[in-house]
Each structure stands twice: as C-alpha cells, then as structure tokens.
Amino acid sequence: MNRIHLGEFEELVLLTVGVLYPDAYAVAITKEITAQSGRSVNVSAVHKSLYRLENKGMLTSELSDPESKRGGKRKRLFSITPFGKKALDESMELRMSLRKQIPELAFKWQIS
C-alpha cells in the first residue's frame, strides 16, 4: 500500500488543525470538533491523534507563550506540513473520485 493511511478521526483532527490555523492546540481542536460534528470528543483522544500525526510527519508544532488561563503553562500549537496537506488532498481526492464513480442508478430508489 503506497497510499498514506489516515484514520477517520485523524482526518477530522488534521482538517480542524487547518481550520483553526494559526491557533490550533488540543483544547481548541476538541471544542471545534465537538461544535462542528456534534459528537462528544475527549481531549485525550485528540492528544493521541495529534501526537500520532506529528510522528507521521503530517503535523508540526511549536510552543506558545504562557497563558494564565492554563495555570501559566504554555500550549503546543500545531500546523499542517506539506506532507500533511498531501495526505489530506489524496484522501479527499480518493473520496471524490469514488463518489463520482457511483452510478446514478444507485440513487434511483423505487418504492416497490
């Protein structure tokens, strides 16, 4: 398999990192996904995906300045790498191409 594999939740996280640029960090991503998809997401799941994506080289990160609302701690800001963009594009392309291949007939339901 030469295609870069992206899990469904990973893809969601990757997309959200892009959406929130330049302020994408775990808490914001969690809230954004919850808000947009309506499903309840735990921050630990987001952490897990972020670190995996970073390991795969699809994300890069740097530390921000300390903030008082997090007890004076810095936060890790993520952004998409070119490889990440490629992975996203390929994934979207695959979906689109598959979607296009569905014959119109498949959607012609008849109530028999």
Partner 1 sequence: MCRKTDIPKIPHALFKWYCRPERYEELHGDLEEFFYERVDEYGATKARLYYLLDVIRCCQSYAWKKTGRQTNLTISMFRNFYFTAIRNLIKNKGYSSINIAGLTIGMTSFIFISLFIVNELSYDRFHSDYKNIYRARSEGQIRAQRVDNATTPSPMAKTLLNTYPEVVKVTRVRKSDPLLVEKGSSKINEEGILYADSTFFDVFDFNLVEGDPATALVHPRSMLLTETYAKKYFGEEEPIGKHLSIEKDTILYTITGVLEDVPANSHIQFNMLCSMSSNASWDNDRWVDGLFYTYVILADKVNVEALEEKMQDLVYQYLAPEIEYYTELTMAEWEGSGNHVTYSLFPVKDIHLYSKSIREIGVNGNISYIYIYSVIALIIVFIAIFNFINLATAQSTSRAREVGVRKVMGSTKTGLIYQFIFESVIVSSISTILAAILVTVFMPSFIHLVGKPLTFGLTSSYIGLLALFGLTIVVGVLAGSYPAFVLATSKPVDALKGASRSGSRVGWLRNFLVIIQFAASIVIIIGTLVVYYQIDFMLTKNLGFDKERTLVIRRPDALANNLEAFKNELLLDPAISAVVNSKTIPGKNYAIRSYRRKDRSETHIFKNNQVGFGYEAVMGLELISGRYFSQEYSSDSNAVIINESAARSLGFEDPIGQNLTSSFRRGELLEIIGVVKDYNIESLHRPIEPTSLELRPTTTKGYISVKMTSDLNVRETIQYIEKAWHTHSDKPLQYFFFDEDYENLYRSESATGKVFVVFAALSIFIACLGLIGLIAYTIAVRKKEIGIRKVLGANTGILIRLLSSEIVRLIIIATLVSWPLAYFATDYWLQNFADRLDIDLWIYAVPTLIVLLIGCLAISFQTIRASLSNPIHALKEE
Residue ranges in contact with partner 1 by CB under 8 A: 25-27, 42-44, 47-48, 51-52, 63, 67, 69-71, 73-76
DSSP state, residue 21: T
**Longest distance between any two alpha carbons in the chain, whole Å:** 65
Among residues 64, 91, 84, the alpha carbon closest in space to that of 75 is found at 64
* Residue 80, strand partner residues: 59
Cα–Cα distance for residue pair 2/106, rounded to 1 Å: 30
Pick between residue 55 and residue 97 the one whose CB is nearest to partner 1: 55
- CB 10, min distance to partner 1, A: 13
Residue closer to partner 1 (CB basis): 34 or 81: 34
Least Å distance, CB 53 to partner 1, is 11
Q: Which is nearer to partner 1, 35 or 94 (CB)?
A: 35
Cβ 62 to partner 1, closest distance in Å? Answer: 11
As measured in angstroms, the least distance from the Cβ of 12 to partner 1 is 18
CA atoms of 48 and 5, how far apart (whole Å): 16
* CB-CB contact of 27 with 76 (8 Å): no
